[in-house]
Amino acid sequence: MKWLQISAVAGVVTLSAAIASAQVNAVPQDHWVATWATSEQMAVTPPDRPVLPPNIKMPDFRHMKGVHGPPAIPTITNNQTVRMIVHTSIPGQRIRVELSNAFGKSVVAIGDAHVALRSNGSSIDSDSDRQLTFSGRKSVDIQPGAVIVSDPVDLDLKPMSDLAISLYITKAEGQPTNHTPGLHTAYVSTGDTTASATMPSPTTNTSYVWLRGVDVVAPAPSFAISCLGDSITDGFRTTVDANTAWPTLLAKRFSERQQGPRIAVLNAGISGNQVLRDGAGVSALARFDRDVATEPGVHWVVLLEAINDINIHGQITGAGAVTAEDLIAGYKQLIARAHMDHMKIMGATLTPDEGVWLAGPVGEATRQKVNQWIRNSGAFDAVVDFDAVIRDPADPKRMRAEFDSGDHIHPNDAGNAAMANAFDLNAFTN
């Protein structure tokens, strides 16, 4: 018995010494934070036609001025290079790139990939050009549904910089996993032009394809805010290549302040997205884990979403209609999901949209009820009142004229600036 006791004590001492040695010799882990991200959509979006009251007929959009749908998804074929421009938020000197084939039906083969600082147009600073590798290899196959992360590369990335990410596609079938509108011009050339200083004879589009995010090694206090929303968050109808979507302008405010940790702002908006149902992209409930929770360094979520639920399924009463109670229940689920992942979540009030052909009194009553709950329930960790900023004081159901992009629902560049300025930056505690 005494021998067993001595052996047990010796074993504990040996184990403790091993743990202590491992702790002393442990290599500190890099603190990765996403500096830019986008939310990907289904390669082919199923139609989600609005459920209309009997007295409302769907107009013929072909003859309506000032109404524009999302740009066409580009078709990227074999032996082509696509160069995409992203506007980052926080700086870093070590970066990595995330690619995804989340909604693809077949393998996408990447033959070469590069990242560089963009100078202007499709041109890059050649001294900053870095070849990306994936597990040490310059080529990689992205299986359907898979996400891949590049090996880190050293690159001096300043705050609010433009990066050019170039992918040489050796095999792709069908429409790519994408995000449209990307609001930045992308360039497509024939052959492997990933290292070209300027893309030769390119065609252009405004979509991101197979590109999910860019991460940087950042100081430990740094973190990211993910803005989960629809087209108003996505920046639809803001000026292309001008970086005027409200999440980008919020990132600019953080970048310009002289104190506090580095805070990245990520745009997780999808134009046409809904809280409760799939349509333009899967619902917010279905994509929360992929688009928000798995992005590195996210500590806060800003939620601005539900106007599409209201306009598409909430302008009627009776069976099948989306109600304020339905949307509040969806919000409660997103709040719970954020808290499960140790994130805080800020609720944003829904902005007015009178003048949109879909809008009506039933949906407006729902919007007002949802906004009252966002402001007064205490369910969110914080609230930003976009409705108060954007609405016309003389007609609160309508957007202020100086903020209206022309379609009565999407704020223009000035409206997005007003939304970005509505935030109390001190609310985002780590």
For the chain, which domains are there? 30-69+219-430 (3.40.50.1110), 77-217 (2.60.120)
Residue 396: burial class (beta carbons within 10 Å; 0-12, 13-18, 19+)? middle
The structure tokens 């969806």 sit at: 330
Position 68 confidence tier, pLDDT thresholds 50, 70, 90: low
Task: State the chain's mean pLDDT as an integer.
Answer: 90
pLDDT of residue 69: 57
pLDDT of 390 > 80? The answer is yes
Q: How far apart, in Å, are the Cα atoms of 241 and each of 97, 106, 205, 270, 346?
A: 21, 31, 12, 18, 28
Residue 378: burial class (beta carbons within 10 Å; 0-12, 13-18, 19+)? exposed
Chain centroid offset of residue 200 CA? 30
pLDDT of residue 77: 82
pLDDT of residue 334: 98
pLDDT of residue 201: 96
pLDDT tens profile 230-249: 999 999 999 999 999 999 99
Q: Summarize the confidence of residues 334-352 as an average pLDDT.
A: 98
Q: Which range is least confidently modeled, 24-33, 119-128, 142-151?
A: 24-33
pLDDT of 61 > 50? The answer is no
Q: Summarize the confidence of residues 358-385 as an average pLDDT.
A: 97
pLDDT higher at 422 or 52:
422
Q: What is the pairing mode between strands 178-179 and 208-209?
A: antiparallel
Position 430 confidence tier, pLDDT thresholds 50, 70, 90: confident
pLDDT of residue 14: 44
Q: Summarize the confidence of residues 335-354 as an average pLDDT.
A: 98
CB atoms near residue 346 (< 10 Å): 22
pLDDT tens profile 213-229: 999 999 999 999 999 99
pLDDT of residue 270: 96
pLDDT of residue 321: 93
Position 65 confidence tier, pLDDT thresholds 50, 70, 90: very low
Q: Summarize the confidence of residues 352-358 as an average pLDDT.
A: 93
Contacts of residue 102, defined as CB under 8 A and 6 or more positions apart, other chains included, come to 40, 145, 147, 177, 212, 290
pLDDT tens profile 244-301: 999 999 999 999 998 889 999 999 999 999 999 998 889 999 999 999 999 999 999 9
The structure tokens 């903020």 sit at: 403
pLDDT of residue 58: 57
pLDDT higher at 106 or 43:
106
Position 54 confidence tier, pLDDT thresholds 50, 70, 90: low
pLDDT > 70 in the chain, percent: 87
pLDDT of residue 301: 98
Instruction: Give the separation between CA 38 and CA 248, rounded to whole angstroms.
Output: 12
pTM of the model: 0.90
pLDDT of 162 > 60? The answer is yes
pLDDT of 7 > 80? The answer is no
Q: Which two tokens stand for residue 186?
A: 């992308």
pLDDT of 6 > 80? The answer is no
Nearest to 303 by CA among 278, 285, 326, 318: 285
pLDDT of residue 124: 98
**Pair 394, 402: CB distance under 8 Å:** no
Q: Summarize the confidence of residues 120-127 as an average pLDDT.
A: 98
